């Protein structure tokens, strides 16, 4: 870019702003992709650009947002987490059985929701413990915990689907505040909490550092293991909450409440610019990724793409969007695995 | 040390082998001729029901129906589930067939079309009595086998048309509807939608505004329906869903949008759908009668195993056939909420009474 002579002359002045510009450019990719995709759909479909559809997109993104909040911290550490389907299934059935329902006489209301989230946190904690004590890779521990969660859910399911009659829980999906369902506000709150944790707490900053250079952190005297367990526990709590939200939406506890959310969330986080190798990205990136994926799903239906084409078209656009988003991050000697 | 342990191991191995061999000989001597004549002692018969999972109300009801039949003949049914995993289904089947197969009766729901041939071949070789339901490749003929007694399935075109007609009637014969399709590459989804298209042709005033897939899933149906509701708004008067789970998801979406004027139809008759029909929020569904399916497969195998029915006496059109299905709406829903199994349905001379004709 600059000639060697210039660089020599302006070493101090030229170097300083550059990393900053690099960061902002790198972060700009996914939001730009979101705006472009949104603009294209808005131009193509009058139904897409209505206020009610924008509300619909935000409502539809709520559950995936919460799951992605959890998974983002794990990805930042450079680990992977496939436990969402199991933990969500277990918490979905648990909450359906704890609030007023057609299976038993429980009516714990909000306490039931808290217990279901704690169940999620407990299962997440197990993944973390298995990772740090048994040194099993996170890919396998979380896959195992997912199976455990599904097993717990199936046992509690016992052949009869629990339907929720609790007003409070069912109301979360139906009642609206400022045009958005209460669940959507819960998702906003999760993003805010996630962002605060990531920005201001030791847990969030260490998660980044673990992903960036775990050995360095360990050699400088930080005990890494407790933070890893804490991150998985927090992720589990987010999945537990997501399971509760699905139950609220469907009015029933389903074992399959979380099916497919593991990969959708990982995809959303990566689309938003969180790297699978860790150390980069964050909650806000992931939130943008979730919106991008949701806008895509919604827009293809609004535009009227045939269902036979949608899967393929969606995949192509996601790959294109990620490719466009990572252009600023591309370095000549970067290795992609 | 080494030698001793090796010797011990060898000795144990030989002893085991000998024991197994004796066991086999005894079985062949005792059970062989009896089975060839198709005359197992009823008490020696093993009944096995295998479905995908018990967390699906329909398949749980299927296994319950199998239990009811087993009780009826003084036996118990072995309940097997394979979580929709084809490999696991094959493993379970091979384990069963590695045991005592002389008087084994299996009522199996193959995971997909391609899972049926290995199960059939295995049963044929081992001499176990097999009835399959729902899935088989079109070119695999039941009549080519002696131990694959029957294959039962349902005419998806017919069910798709039945609920399509019920939907058209519910919206007064004219208006806009949307369709939620199943997993697009499955036969069930294709047939059901083809039936709906037939119904649309017969009701020209009914307009299909949009068709989308929600992959047979309640959660996906919720999202897709919400999107279609914002797209078409008040134009939507009815929703056709290829199964009840999607219909229930659509009902949630309608509730969240505050719409109560939309007719919804589905297929499968899961308990929640029946409740919704009772309450009047859902219009119609179609039942294949899961408990009957769980019982009938075992009953056919039982009757052949005991010799009350000979394989040669089963008519060719009863070897692969469409069973009767029932349209459920508000008028008759009460009859299906607590389904009763009639003992006579499983009598050896009444096994094929629900046949709607041979599979085409």
User: Is A40 part of a structural domain of the chain?
Assistant: yes
Question: Whole-angstrom Cα distance, residue B318 to residue B310?
Answer: 13
Selection from A314, A332, A316 nearest residue A324 by Cα: A316
Q: B306 pLDDT band (50/70/90 cuts)?
A: very high
Q: pLDDT digit string (tens) for A53-82?
A: 999 999 999 999 999 999 999 999 999 999
Q: pLDDT digit string (tens) for A90-110?
A: 999 999 999 999 889 999 989
Kindly state the DSSP code that residue A164 receives in the 8-state scheme.
B
Q: B10 pLDDT band (50/70/90 cuts)?
A: low
Residue of B nearest to A297 (CA): B224
Q: pLDDT digit string (tens) for B317-354?
A: 999 999 999 999 999 998 888 767 788 889 998 999 99
Question: Whole-angstrom Cα distance, residue B267 to residue B262?
Answer: 17
Within 8 A by CB and 6+ apart from A130, the residues are A136, A141, A144, A145
Does residue A167 contact residue A46 with C-beta atoms inside 8 Å? no
Does residue B223 contact residue A301 with C-beta atoms inside 8 Å? no
Phi then psi for B214, rounded to 5 degrees? Answer: -125, 20
Strand order in the sheet with B236-241: B206-213, B175-181, B236-241, B263-265
- DSSP-derived 3-state class of residue A177: strand
Question: Whole-angstrom Cα distance, residue A49 to residue A262?
Answer: 30
Q: Would you put residue A304 in left (φ > 0), alpha (ψ -120 to 50) or beta?
A: left
Write out chain B residues lying below 8 Å of A298, CB-based.
Answer: 227
C-alpha B219: how far from chain center: 23
pLDDT given at position A231: 96
DSSP string, A110-163: HHHHHHHHHHHHHHHHHHHHHHHHH---HHHHHHHHHHHHHHHHHHHHTTSPPB
Q: Which two tokens stand for residue B299?
A: 């009953």
**Dihedral sign for Cα atoms in the order B297, B303, B307, B310:** negative
Q: pLDDT digit string (tens) for B99-130?
A: 989 899 999 999 988 999 999 999 999 999 99
Query: Which of A47, A305, A307, A314 to mutate to test binding with chain B, by most B CBs within 10 Å of its CB?
Result: A307
On whether the pTM is more than 0.95, the answer is: no
Q: A314 pLDDT band (50/70/90 cuts)?
A: confident
Question: Whole-angstrom Cα distance, residue A9 to residue A19?
Answer: 18
C-alpha A38: how far from chain center: 21
DSSP string, B263-282: EEE-SS--HHHHHHHHHTSS
Residue of A nearest to B223 (CA): A60
pLDDT given at position A279: 78
pLDDT of B34 > 80? The answer is no
* Host domain of residue A201: 32-324
Selection from B232, B234, B358, B221 nearest residue B282 by Cα: B221
Q: pLDDT digit string (tens) for A239-276?
A: 999 999 999 999 999 998 998 899 999 999 988 888 88
Q: Between A and B, how many CB-CB pairs are < 8 A?
A: 83
If contacts are CB pairs under 8 Å, which of residues 24-63 in chain B contact chain A?
Answer: 53-55, 57, 60
Write out chain A residues lying below 8 Å of B252, CB-based.
Answer: 173, 249-251
Selection from B87, B117, B116, B93 nearest residue B106 by Cα: B93
Q: pLDDT digit string (tens) for A133-145?
A: 998 999 999 999 9
For range B15-34, the mean pLDDT = 45
Which position has the higher pLDDT, A240 or B61? A240
ipTM: 0.81
Q: Which two tokens stand for residue A181?
A: 């369902």
User: Is A3 part of a structural domain of the chain?
Assistant: no
Residue with tokens 């987010």: A238
Q: For chain A, give the percent of residues with pLDDT over 90.
A: 60
Q: Where are the alpha helices (DSSP H) in B171-314?
A: 187-202, 218-232, 244-257, 271-279, 290-305
Q: Which two tokens stand for residue B81?
A: 């589930």
pLDDT given at position A325: 64
Inform me whether the C-beta atom of residue B249 falls under 8 Å from chain A C-beta atoms. Answer: yes
Domain-by-domain residue ranges, chain B? 1-36, 38-154+289-325+339-358, 157-287
For range B49-72, the mean pLDDT = 89
Q: How many domains does chain A have?
A: 1
Does residue B312 contact residue B189 with C-beta atoms inside 8 Å? no
Does residue B183 contact residue B212 with C-beta atoms inside 8 Å? no
Write out chain B residues lying below 8 Å of A165, CB-based.
Answer: none
CB contact under 8 A, B219 and A254: yes
pLDDT of A313 > 90? The answer is no
Does residue A232 contact residue A81 with C-beta atoms inside 8 Å? yes
**CATH architecture for the domain at B38-154+289-325+339-358:** 3-Layer(aba) Sandwich (3.40)
Q: Where are the alpha helices (DSSP H) in B139-243?
A: 156-170, 187-202, 218-232
Selection from A242, A238, A240 nearest residue A62 by Cα: A242
Phi then psi for B283, rounded to 5 degrees? Answer: -90, -55
User: Is A254 part of a structural domain of the chain?
Assistant: yes
CB contact under 8 A, B222 and A249: yes
Q: pLDDT digit string (tens) for B195-220?
A: 999 999 999 999 999 999 998 899 99
Instruction: Indicate if B157-287 has the same CATH topology as B38-154+289-325+339-358.
Output: yes
Which CATH number belongs to the domain containing residue A189 in this structure?
Answer: 1.10.3470
Contacts 24+ apart (CB under 8 A), A140-146: A142/A80, A142/A81, A142/A82, A142/A83, A142/A232, A143/A82, A143/A83, A145/A83, A145/A86, A145/A87, A146/A82, A146/A83, A146/A84, A146/A85, A146/A86, A146/A87, A146/A262
- DSSP-derived 3-state class of residue B27: helix
Does the domain formed by B157-287 have CATH 3.40.50.2300?
A: yes
Question: Whole-angstrom Cα distance, residue A167 to residue B63?
Answer: 34
For range A1-29, the mean pLDDT = 52
Residue of B nearest to A306 (CA): B212
CB contact under 8 A, A154 and B271: no
Per the DSSP assignment, residues forming a β-bridge with B358 are: B321
pLDDT of A22 > 50? The answer is no
């Amino acid at each position: 870019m600059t000639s060697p002579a210039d660089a020599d002359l302006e070493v101090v002045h030229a170097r300083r702003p550059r990393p900053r510009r690099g960061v902002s450019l790198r972060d700009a990719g996914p939001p730009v992709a979101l705006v472009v995709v949104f603009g294209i759909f808005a131009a193509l479909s009058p139904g897409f650009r209505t206020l009610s559809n924008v509300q619909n997109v935000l409502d539809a993104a709520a559950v995936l947002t919460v799951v992605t909040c959890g998974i983002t911290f794990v990805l930042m550490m450079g680990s992977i987490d496939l436990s969402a389907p199991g933990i969500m299934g277990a918490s979905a059935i648990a909450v359906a059985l704890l609030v007023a329902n057609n299976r038993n006489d429980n009516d714990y209301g909000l306490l039931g929701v808290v217990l279901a989230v704690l169940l999620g946190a407990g299962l997440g904690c197990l993944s973390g413990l298995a990772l740090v004590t048994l040194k099993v890779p996170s890919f396998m521990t979380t896959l195992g915990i997912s199976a455990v969660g599904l097993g717990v859910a199936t046992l509690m399911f016992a052949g009869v689907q629990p339907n929720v009659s609790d007003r409070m829980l069912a109301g979360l999906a139906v009642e609206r505040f400022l045009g958005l369902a209460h669940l959507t506000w819960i998702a906003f709150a999760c993003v805010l909490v996630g962002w605060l944790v990531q920005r201001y707490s030791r847990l969030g900053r260490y998660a980044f550092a673990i992903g960036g250079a775990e050995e360095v952190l360990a050699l400088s005297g930080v005990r890494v293991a407790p933070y890893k367990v804490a991150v998985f526990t927090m992720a589990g709590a987010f999945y537990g909450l997501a399971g509760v939200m699905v139950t609220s939406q469907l009015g029933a506890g389903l074992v399959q409440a979380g099916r497919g959310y593991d990969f959708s969330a990982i995809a959303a986080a990566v689309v938003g610019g969180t790297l699978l190798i860790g150390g980069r990205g964050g909650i806000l990136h992931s939130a943008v990724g979730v919106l991008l994926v949701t806008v895509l799903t919604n827009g293809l239906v609004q535009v009227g793409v045939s269902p036979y084409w949608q899967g393929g078209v969606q995949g192509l656009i996601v790959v294109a969007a990620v490719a466009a988003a990572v252009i600023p991050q591309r370095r000549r000697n970067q290795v992609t695995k | 040390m080494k030698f001793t342990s090796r010797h011990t191991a060898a000795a144990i191995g030989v002893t085991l082998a000998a024991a197994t061999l004796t066991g086999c000989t005894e079985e062949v001597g005792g059970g062989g001729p009896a089975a060839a004549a198709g005359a197992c002692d009823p008490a020696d018969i093993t009944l096995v029901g295998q479905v995908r999972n018990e967390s699906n109300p329909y398949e749980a009801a299927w296994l319950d129906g199998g239990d009811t039949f087993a009780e009826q003949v003084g036996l118990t049914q072995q309940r097997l589930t394979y979580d929709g995993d084809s490999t696991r289904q094959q493993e379970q089947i091979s384990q069963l067939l590695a045991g005592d197969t002389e008087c084994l009766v299996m009522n199996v729901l193959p995971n997909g079309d391609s899972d049926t041939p290995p199960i059939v071949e295995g049963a044929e070789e081992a001499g176990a009595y097999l009835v399959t339901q729902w899935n088989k490749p079109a070119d695999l003929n039941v009549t080519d086998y002696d131990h694959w007694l029957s294959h039962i399935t349902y005419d998806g075109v017919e069910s798709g048309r039945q609920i399509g007609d019920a939907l058209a009637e519910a919206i007064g014969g004219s208006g806009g509807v949307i369709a939620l399709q199943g997993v697009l590459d499955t036969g069930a989804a294709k047939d059901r939608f083809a039936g709906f298209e037939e119904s649309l042709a017969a009701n020209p005033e009914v307009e299909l505004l949009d068709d989308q897939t929600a992959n047979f899933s309640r959660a996906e149906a919720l999202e897709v329906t919400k999107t279609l509701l914002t797209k078409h708004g008040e134009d939507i008067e009815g929703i056709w869903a290829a199964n009840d789970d999607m219909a229930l998801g659509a009902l949630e979406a309608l509730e969240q949008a505050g719409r109560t004027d939309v007719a919804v139809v589905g297929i499968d008759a899961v308990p929640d759908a029946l409740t919704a029909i009772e309450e009047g929020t859902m219009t119609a569904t179609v039942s294949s009668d899961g408990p009957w399916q769980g019982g009938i497969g075992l009953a056919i195998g039982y009757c052949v195993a005991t010799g009350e029915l000979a394989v040669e006496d089963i008519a060719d059109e009863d070897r692969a056939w469409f069973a009767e299905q029932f349209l459920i709406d508000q008028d008759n829903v009460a009859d299906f909420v607590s389904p009763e199994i009639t003992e006579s349905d499983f009598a050896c001379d009444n096994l094929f009474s629900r046949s709607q004709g041979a599979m085409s």
